[in-house]
Amino acid sequence: MRKIISFIIISLLITSCSTAFRDITVQMPDLTLLNDGIYRGIYDLSGTPIKVILDVTIQRNRILHIEIVQHNSSPIGRRAESIINYVIEKQSLEVDAVSGATASSKAILKAIEKALRSN
C-alpha cells in the first residue's frame, strides 16, 4: 500500500511540474577535449523528486560506459535508464527520450552532459 501511495504522489508531482523538463536543452560536449577517465555528473530536476547521479567512462575520446549511481524517480521513470545504451551506441546526446519517461530521460541526458563538461 505504501508503494502505491508513493507512486501516486511522485506521479502527481511530476505531472504537476511537467513544464519543468520541457525547457531542458542538452548539448554534446566535444569528446576530443577529454582525457581518458571517469567523470561524474549530477542533475537534480528542479521542482520534481527526480535526481540523477552517474559516472561516464571516457576512453580514446569515446563514451565507453555509463553507470547510473543514483536515480530518484517513479518506477515508470526508471525505464529511462535504457537511454544510456543509445547514448553509447550513437556517441551522442541527441537521442529520443524514452516514451512515458521523458523527464527522467532528460535528467539522465543532462547529468551525462554535466559529467562531460566537468573537466
The DSSP string of 41-66 is: EEEE-TTSS-EEEEEEEEETTEEEEE
User: 81 is in which domain, residue-wise?
Assistant: 2-116
Give the up-direction half-sphere exposure of residue 55: CA atoms within 13 A in the CB hemisphere.
6
- Summarised one tens digit per residue, pLDDT across range 23-72 is 677 788 889 999 999 999 999 988 788 999 999 999 999 999 999 999 99
Stated pTM of the model: 0.81
- Give the whole-number percent of the chain exceeding pLDDT 90: 60
Could you tell me if 108 and 84 are in contact, meaning their C-beta atoms sit under 8 angstroms apart?
Answer: yes
Residue 79's pLDDT band, with cuts at 50, 70 and 90, is very high
Domain count, the chain: 1
* CATH number assigned to the domain comprising residue 53: 3.90.1010
80 confidence band (pLDDT: 50, 70, 90): very high
Task: Provide the pLDDT confidence category of residue 17 given band limits of 50, 70 and 90.
Answer: very low
**pLDDT given for residue 16 in this prediction:** 46
